Structure 1
Amino acid sequence: MEVNDYHVSPTELQQLEKRGYNQDLLPKDETKRNMDAKNYFTLWMGSIHNIPNYTAVGGFLFLGLSPLNVMLALIISAVVVAGFMTVNGVVGSRFGIPFAMHLRSTYGNVGAKLPGFLRGCVAAIAWFGLQNYTGSLALLILIGKIWPGFLELGGDTMILGISIPGLIAFTAFWLLNVAIGFGGGNILNKFTAILTPLIYIVFGGMAIWAFTVAGGMGPILSYDTVGVTRSIHPLFGYLMVINSVLAVWAAPGASVSDFTQNAKSTKQQAVGQTLGLVIGYAIFAIFSVVILIGGSIHYDIQEWNVLNIIDRWDNFPAIILAMAVFLLTTISTNATGNIIPAAYQLTALFPKKINYKKGVLIASIISFVIMPWKLMENADSIFIFLNTIGAVLGPVAGVMLTHYFFVNKQQIDLDKLYMDPTKNNKNNQYHGINRQAYIATIVALLLSLSGQFISSLKMISDISWLVGFAAASIIYLGLQKFSTKTND
């Protein structure tokens, strides 16, 4: 059944506003839906080239997959992610509603609080802190190149597990990210439009350098990774890569309506996101493998931290430029995927007390207090973090998509969704808790997390997002059919 985009009228918007909803939660009218395919194309392309993504590629090479297979797995992953982002963004682009209201349409006005908290407060704030820390490592190297004595400040003194130079770099980078967060989507659109071309110029240059010093593509594709300890079937290796990439996008993918609510049309966001993610990841797949392996061949040391490769260069201007671009890409990723969704969700959880800017401030403070440098104390930390995020948000995504397309048949009643708190809403379909959705989410969540605690189920944790998504979808559909038969 074809469903056309719905644009709320000024009269409807005034009625909804009178019910006490702030501007951040109200559906966007036609005047505010100004993002076209070009905006969505550039929105995510810059977010792909960040430090944790490069670190993850180094981990993929340790799975036993060949460099070519890693590239192919990344491209396939991009197609899957693009499909997920586009399809889950349909609700926002068709009705102009943000993620918080998308959740309400699935879980109910009370039920939406838990999945909203998981995405907006747990995943987003943790990711915001982690991205700030990885970005601060690049800033630390950058400052150290300009002012070597900075790295000696405080000697061996550690504060809360981090050196004084490290803490200064983290705080400075954190403040910069907070400032971008306050600017919101409008600042971000201008920021990404300038940044995206710069990203591909710089990283293209890095790839050409690595290709040259490695002696061409032959040595790179035939590179034998030392230290591979896991023997896995190549097909499962592909699934692990796909799952990890999905986990990277699990948080922005779940709340993508916060961005697609501003789309001029569903077609615009679908075309823009698909092309941006697939083309962006295809380029990233080649660049990342070539840079990491080419650098390892050149320096005769297996080095999967792209920052360490850059730090070994003897060209000072090139180091400054590359580090600066990494800092900018981290800011772009942090804004789109973390701080903006976190602020929106805090607004949704406490609409009478918190607006968008207060949400940014609260989320930012929490991200500092949790000491994200502790999340990166060993080499496996990033993968444990990704698998946990995937396990938490995969079930939520599964229920959201299943509910909208198969249960609601792509229909949403905005008048009922934005219920009047002064009236009796007990018979409102969006009131209270959608119990079937809750049961499916919790059961799938426990299943996808089981591999973290039961060694015999370790395989599940390696594909936690996929397991959680599939399990939640199947369980929810089953409960819906059972409920319908019981009512009959």
Structure 2
Amino acid sequence: MAHTATGDGRQWHHPDGRVELDPAAGELPDNGFTSDDLRPVPVARRTWSTYNFLALWVGMAHNIPSWTLASGLVAIGMDWKQAVLTIALANLIVLVPMLLTGHAGTKYGIPFPVFARASFGLRGANLPALLRAAVACAWFGIQTWIGGEGIFLLAGKLLGESWRTAGELGGYPWTQWLSFLVFWVIEMLIIARGMEALRRFENWAAPFVIVGALALLGWITVKAGGFGPLLDQPSALGWGREFWRVFFPALMGMIGFWSTLALNIPDFTRFGGSQRAQIRGQALGLPTTMTLFALLSVLVTSGSQAVYGEPVWDPIQLAAKMENPAGILFALLTVLVATLSVNIAANVVSPAYDLTNLLPRFVNFRTGALITGVVGIAIFPWRLIADPHVYIYTWLGVVGGLLGTVAGVLIADYWLLRGTRLRLAELYRPGGAYWYAAGWNWRAVVALLVGGLLAVGGSYSTVDAHGVAQGPFPANGLVPLLKPLADYGWAVGLAAAASLYVLLNLGRRTGAGAGVEAGVEAGSEPGSGPEPGAEA
């Protein structure tokens, strides 16, 4: 069915609300802020359906760190009901900013770093982009180490004791380092084929991983002699004060797990066939999948306690206890596919775009992906996930707090001040509407810094029975005055940054819904009025 579009200057508004550059206006100029990877996706190429987004989330949520989230919560005292409740609530909360930021990707066909230019400026956007990229590189390293560990352990069951007891190098058998490298190479080969290859991979990986996880549940249920023993994990906290003292920092940590995607989800939604497709696909995919996977994790682990006398929280370690070679091979393939599907989508796509945004003339998507892979090795990921206290409270909590501030600025700018209206071509033009002062919007930077200070300034480490801090922070917090806020870091960062950004922009609106007039800063074009062609 033919459709019509209305044009204003260089952009066209389609009846379904999506916007693209006017094809008759020619390509965007090569000015240091444009590249093939950063240009808006034409509407004709925005083809991702509800299933594509659903499959993306199923593939990303079914991974080893997701599995161990529930186990980490149980390890700090929760029972299975409390752990599943915490994870379910966290994913319902983080879905909201995910949908709000994802809207811009589908409407304008732009990736996250270009979207950030509207609020931070053409140059200033590199600040949140590189913050997000740094987090993604660390996550990439963690997931790659886990994938390599899967190859090492499960291959050891097939190849014999000599594989597992090979000579050590840096504290690990050299065969484990080889497994790590093999998994890294597989990831690089897949991502080198681009986003369309990723979409196809996620489409078949999602159902495969679900089948593999259910097979593991069936196996441990049979070994345990039925379903009853799988629900016997008691709570060490109860439902009183002790539980609530753990609940809120754990909730922020669970939100922090996907706070990364709450920022760079436009990298995927820019390919969306409609807003309905991305909204339904994400709403159906994220909270349901994460909750069910957490429940599956607890059930399988409780079954392992009944079978082996102690809980085996790592599904790789559990699968390694299988004796059937066919079962081991299937488990190995499931682990590989599950880890590949999340690591490439969640932790390579974003930094690849972010690094391209930093140096578009020299770095393309594939080069950015390779840089991500190298940095992911250099951060020593095996040390980061060794302790659940460090993993949940320090890593996830601090990351969530910092990224929550970026989400606060983006959402406030796009939804509250601009009413979702952007000038698409101006996002690529120095000296234009989003140039602010020499490419930086100081209001966004101030909101980010203040929000970040409030969110993570009170970060502290828990102490053991001997008074020893279980993490890198002082027990009374980096800034003791801010310690009470640390348990709510993501929420504090998002709310504080959004509120401050709106306050700093008071008086800069030109009329109801006209949006921030970003052209009045020094160094920008004079006379920029209300954004042209704004929809009613």
Which aligned runs of 4 or more in structure 1 are off by greater than 6 angstroms? 228-231, 482-485
Name the residue aligned to 2:91.
78
Which residue of 367, 389, 395 corresponds with 1:385?
395
1:173-201 Cα shifts (integer Å, max 9, x gaps)? 11111112212211111111111111111
- Cα deviation 1:252-278 (Å, max 9, x = unaligned): 221111101111111111111111113
Match of 2:312 in 1: 303
Q: 2:192 aligns with which of 179, 182, 196?
A: 182
Distance 1:282 1:473 in 2: 29
Q: Which residue of 1 aligns with 2:491?
A: 466
Tell me the SS of whatever aligns to 1:351: coil
Provide the C-alpha distance between the structure 1 equivalents of 2:155 and 2:505, rounded to a whole number of angstroms. 57
1:112 aligns with 2:125: yes
Call closer, same or farther: CA 1:99–1:216 in 2, change over 3 Å.
same
Distance 1:150-1:45 versus aligned 2 partners, 3 A rule: same
Distance 2:439 2:261 in 1: 26
Map of 1:288 onto structure 2: 297
Counterparts of residues 233-272 of structure 1 (less than 5 Å): 233-235=242-244, 237-272=246-281
Name which one, 1 or 2, has greater alpha-carbon Rg: 2
2:406 is aligned to 396
Rounded Cα–Cα distance in structure 2 between residues aligned with 1:218 and 1:260: 42
C-alpha change, 1:230 and 1:482, in structure 2 (3 Å) is farther
Q: In structure 2, which of residues 156, 169, 172 is the aligned counterpart of residue 158 of structure 1?
A: 169
Question: Any conservation in 1 of the 2:141–2:376 contact (CA below 8 Å)?
Answer: yes
TM-score, with structure 2 as normaliser: 0.82
In the aligned structure 1, how far is the partner of 2:97 from the partner of 2:325?
41
CA contact (8 A) 2:118 2:434 kept: no
Aligned to 2:40: 27
Q: Give the alignment's TM-score, normalised by structure 1.
A: 0.90
Shift of 1:232: 4.8
Aligned residue identity for 2:391: I
Moved more, 254-263 or 468-477: 468-477
Tell me which of the two structures has the higher relative contact order, counting C-alpha pairs closer than 8 angstroms and 6 or more residues apart.
1
1:408 aligns with 2:418: yes
Residue type at the aligned position of 1:176: I
Match of 2:114 in 1: 101
Given candidates 462, 469, 475, the residue that maps to 2:500 is 475
CA distance in 1, matches of 2:418, 2:310: 55
- Could you list the per-position Cα deviations for residues 393-452 of structure 1 after superposition, in whole angstroms to 9, with x for gaps in the alignment? 111111111111111121101132221x4xx44885596222121111111112222214
Aligned partners of 1:186 and 1:314: how far apart in 2? 38
What root-mean-square deviation, in Å, do the aligned CA atoms of Structure 1 and Structure 2 show?
2.7
Structure 2: 5+ residue stretches without partners: 1-14, 461-472, 478-482, 511-516, 518-536
- Conserved in 1, the CA contact under 8 Å of 2:48 and 2:272? yes
Residue pairs, 1:42-441, within 5 angstroms: 42-120=55-133, 122-148=134-160, 149-154=162-167, 157-159=168-170, 161-214=171-224, 216-224=226-234, 232-235=241-244, 237-383=246-392, 384-419=394-429, 421=430, 424-425=431-432, 428=435, 432-441=439-448
Amino acid at match of 1:204: L
Cα distance between partner residues in 2 of 1:229 and 1:171: 44
> In structure 2, what is the Cα distance between the partners aligned to 1:481 and 1:102?
22
Counterpart CA distance in 2 for 1:167 and 1:198 is 27
Alignment of 1:32-43 (within 5 A): 32-43=45-56
1:66 touches 1:221 (CA, 8 Å); kept in 2?
no
Shift of 1:354: 0.9
Instruction: Quote the residue 2:9 is aligned against.
Output: none
Whole-angstrom distance in 2 between the partners of 1:290 and 1:379: 19
CA-CA distance at 1:38 after TM superposition: 1.0
For 2:279, the aligned partner's letter is A
SS at match of 1:89: helix
Deviation at 1:66, TM superposition (A): 2.7
Partners of 1:326 and 1:430 in 2: how far apart?
Answer: 49
Structure with the largest fraction of helix: 1
For residue 321 of structure 1, give the secondary structure of its aligned residue in structure 2: helix
The answer to whether the Cα contact below 8 Å between 2:188 and 2:369 also exists between their aligned partners in 1 is yes
Counterpart of 2:179 in 1: which secondary structure? helix
Kept in 1: contact 2:111–2:267 (CA 8 A): yes
- Residues 245, 3 of structure 1: CA spacing in aligned structure 2 closer, same or farther, 3 A cutoff? farther
Aligned in 2, Cα 1:41/1:377: closer, same or farther, shift over 3 Å? closer
Number of residues paired by the alignment? 476
Is 1:456 aligned to 2:507, yes or no?
Answer: no
Change in CA separation of 1:198 and 1:432 when aligned onto 2, cut-off 3 Å: same
Which one is further off, 467-476 or 95-104? 467-476
In 2, Cα distance between equivalents of 1:427 and 1:205: 52
Give 1:304 shift: 2.1
SS of the residue 1:35 aligns to? coil
The alpha-carbon distance between structure 1 residues 242 and 305, as it changes in their structure 2 partners (threshold 3 A), is: same
Cα distance change of structure 1 residues 242 and 377 upon mapping to structure 2, 3 Å threshold: closer
SS of the residue 1:7 aligns to: strand
How far apart are the structure 2 equivalents of 1:377 and 1:252?
Answer: 24
- Unaligned residue ranges in structure 1 (runs of 5+): none
Q: Provide the C-alpha distance between the structure 2 equivalents of 1:3 and 1:467, rounded to a whole number of angstroms.
A: 35
Distance 1:60 1:205 in 2: 24
Given that residues 122 and 434 in structure 2 are in contact (C-alpha distance below 8 angstroms), is that contact kept between their aligned partners in structure 1?
A: no
Contact 1:68/1:221 (CA < 8 Å) preserved in 2? no
1:295–1:303 Cα contact (<8 Å) kept: yes
Q: How much does 1:146 deviate?
A: 1.6
Q: Give the residue type in structure 2 aligned to 1:257.
A: P
SS of 1:245's partner is helix
Distance 1:418 1:479, change over 3 A: same
**Shift of the alpha carbon at 1:284?**
0.9
- Partners in 2 of 1:288 and 1:411 — Cα distance? 43
Sequence identity percentage: 28
Asked if structure 2 preserves the Cα contact closer than 8 Å seen for 1:17 and 1:26, the reply is no
Q: Counterpart of 2:475 in structure 1: which amino acid?
A: S
The question of whether the paired residues in 1 share the 8 Å contact of 2:154 and 2:316 is answered with no
Indicate the residue corresponding to 2:6 in structure 1. none
